[in-house]
């Protein structure tokens, strides 16, 4: 059966151009970049070229790019690296983040709380936007780091990163230099841009961020390949120790093929982002318009400030896992925020944060489009979704009315 993959926010297939360059490297290039003989220098040269290409795309310097094993590791390095490095400068060190971050951020924050950091979780409005007013209230002279995601993986809401950066900058300008730190003003600003690289502006300087996490597996690159951008002058405490690779920040023999793949994937996705986002937005809006014709459904997230490929719909009176399994039977891959779908049996923290009740979160359906998505696929998916929703509603023991769905 032909599969219709509508879960590009989970991961994307490796695109042919990326596969080609990775295959070419792996067919013969195996040297350890730390070695000084031919094979080592060959691998080192490839690694350097990947870093140069990425630096160029990001408008950054090569030494500001730290390659990692993916988005989660980049985020962990940013959060632990900054917090542990600069903790000593503060009496009551504070970290600020939002309630709708990826678990990589939230779980790292929980660990940092155990290390004595005060963590502030910023609320979001019903569309998933961070309230800048709340951020301003939370900033104090003990704040080490602010971490707010660029675009949300579940509901696709795009945060006003430049405005957040501006608010932090304004706060910093009123601060005097911490006497113990001769160079930096605090807080530093990190953004998790893993969902953003496919369609949005990602030059850290333009965004006004000090640190930024990216990965390849969301932009048609390989799994287990990511990077952290850290503005020069910022010192990080490593979280992995060993041979001192990546400027001593990320020990372990370099994943050269993976990082070449990341560089290529980033280059292509940034080059194509405007045209592809336009194409996807048209498909997405058509999809949403027709999905909302199904009775007792509503859209979650922001109408305008939304990733071009994201749809998050609540279908009342049915449960998400059952819906996903039914769709899967017809060849459609999608996702849900239902508790029954998660390993910890908790409903989506993102949908909770935007004010949905648990019983409506169970019926959430996330569809994320991508390169392979066509109008024909969307039409097929619409037909199947209508069919299986009807089927599951027939079996369902509940009948929540549309006007009872919000808190």
Residues that bind other proteins (CB under 8 A): 317-322, 325-326, 329, 338-341, 343, 345, 347, 357-359, 362, 394-398, 400
In the complex with other proteins, the residue whose CB is nearer, 39 or 321, is 321
Element holding 118 (H helix, E strand)? strand 118-122
The alpha carbon of 235 is separated from its chain's Cα centroid by a whole number of angstroms, namely: 23
In the complex with other proteins, the residue whose CB is nearer, 318 or 353, is 318
Cβ at position 224, least distance to other proteins in Å: 17
Cβ at position 357, least distance to other proteins in Å: 8
Cβ at position 198, least distance to other proteins in Å: 27
340 annotated active-site: yes
Q: Measured between alpha carbons, how far is 172 from 22 in angstroms, rounded to an integer?
A: 43
Cβ at position 2, least distance to other proteins in Å: 15
Q: Determine which one of 24, 35, 292, 340 is catalytic.
A: 340
Name the nearest CA neighbour of 202 among 156, 263, 266: 266
In the complex with other proteins, the residue whose CB is nearer, 242 or 358, is 358
In degrees and rounded to multiples of 5, residue 30 shows phi and psi of -135, 0
Cα-only R_g, the chain:
22
Contact 237, 84 (CB under 8 A): yes
What separation in angstroms does the CA of 298 have from each of 9, 289, 342, 403? 20, 11, 22, 11
Write out the two tokens for 245.
Answer: 């690779």
Write out the two tokens for 335.
Answer: 């996702």
Cβ at position 56, least distance to other proteins in Å: 36
Hey, what long-range contacts does 390-395 have (CB within 8 A, 24 or more apart)?
391/326, 392/318, 392/319, 392/322, 392/323, 392/326, 393/317, 393/318
In the complex with other proteins, the residue whose CB is nearer, 1 or 303, is 1
In the complex with other proteins, the residue whose CB is nearer, 231 or 357, is 357
Strand partners, 333: 5
In degrees and rounded to multiples of 5, residue 188 shows phi and psi of -85, 160
Provide the 3-class DSSP secondary structure of residue 109: helix
Contact 311, 284 (CB under 8 A): yes
In the complex with other proteins, the residue whose CB is nearer, 292 or 398, is 398
**Ranges assigned E (strand) in 148-272:** 188-192, 211-215, 226-230
Q: Measured between alpha carbons, how far is 317 from 224 in angstroms, rounded to an integer?
A: 38
Catalytic site positions: 340
């Amino acid at each position: 059966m032909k599969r219709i993959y509508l879960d590009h926010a989970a991961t994307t297939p490796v695109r042919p151009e990326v596969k080609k360059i990775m295959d070419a490297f792996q067919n013969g290039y195996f040297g350890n970049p730390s070695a000084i003989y031919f094979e080592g220098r060959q691998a080192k040269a490839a690694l350097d070229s990947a870093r140069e290409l990425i630096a160029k795309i990001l408008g950054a310097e090569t030494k500001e790019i730290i390659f990692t094993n993916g988005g989660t590791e980049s985020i962990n390095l940013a959060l632990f690296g900054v917090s542990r490095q600069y903790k000593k400068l503060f009496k009551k060190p504070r970290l600020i983040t939002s309630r709708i971050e990826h678990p990589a951020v939230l779980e790292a924050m929980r660990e940092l709380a155990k290390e004595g950091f005060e963590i502030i979780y910023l609320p979001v409005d019903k569309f998933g936007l961070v309230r800048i007013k709340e951020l301003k209230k939370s900033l104090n002279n003990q704040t080490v780091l602010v971490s707010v995601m660029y675009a949300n993986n579940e509901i696709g809401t795009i945060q006003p990163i430049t405005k957040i950066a501006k608010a932090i900058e304004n706060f910093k300008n009123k601060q005097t230099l911490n006497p113990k730190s001769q160079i930096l003003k605090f807080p530093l600003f990190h953004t998790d841009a893993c969902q953003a690289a496919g369609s949005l502006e990602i030059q850290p300087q333009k965004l006004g961020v000090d640190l930024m996490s990216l990965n390849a597996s969301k932009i048609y690159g390989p799994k287990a390949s990511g990077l952290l951008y850290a503005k020069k002058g910022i010192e990080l405490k490593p979280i992995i120790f060993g041979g001192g690779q990546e400027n001593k920040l990320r020990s372990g023999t370099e994943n050269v093929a993976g990082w070449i793949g990341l560089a290529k994937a980033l280059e292509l996705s940034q080059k194509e982002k405007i045209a592809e986002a336009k194409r996807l937005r048209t498909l997405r809006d058509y999809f949403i318009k027709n999905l909302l014709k199904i009775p007792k459904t509503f859209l979650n997230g922001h109408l305008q400030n939304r990733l071009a490929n994201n749809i998050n719909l609540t279908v009342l009176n049915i449960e998400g896992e059952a819906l996903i399994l039914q769709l899967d039977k017809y060849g459609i891959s999608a996702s849900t925020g239902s508790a029954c779908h998660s390993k910890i049996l908790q409903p989506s923290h993102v949908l909770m944060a935007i004010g949905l009740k648990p019983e409506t979160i169970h019926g959430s359906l996330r569809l994320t489009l991508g390169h392979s998505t066509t109008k024909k696929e969307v039409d097929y998916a619409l037909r199947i979704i209508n069919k299986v929703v009807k089927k599951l509603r027939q079996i369902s023991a509940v009948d929540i009315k549309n006007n009872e769905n919000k808190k």
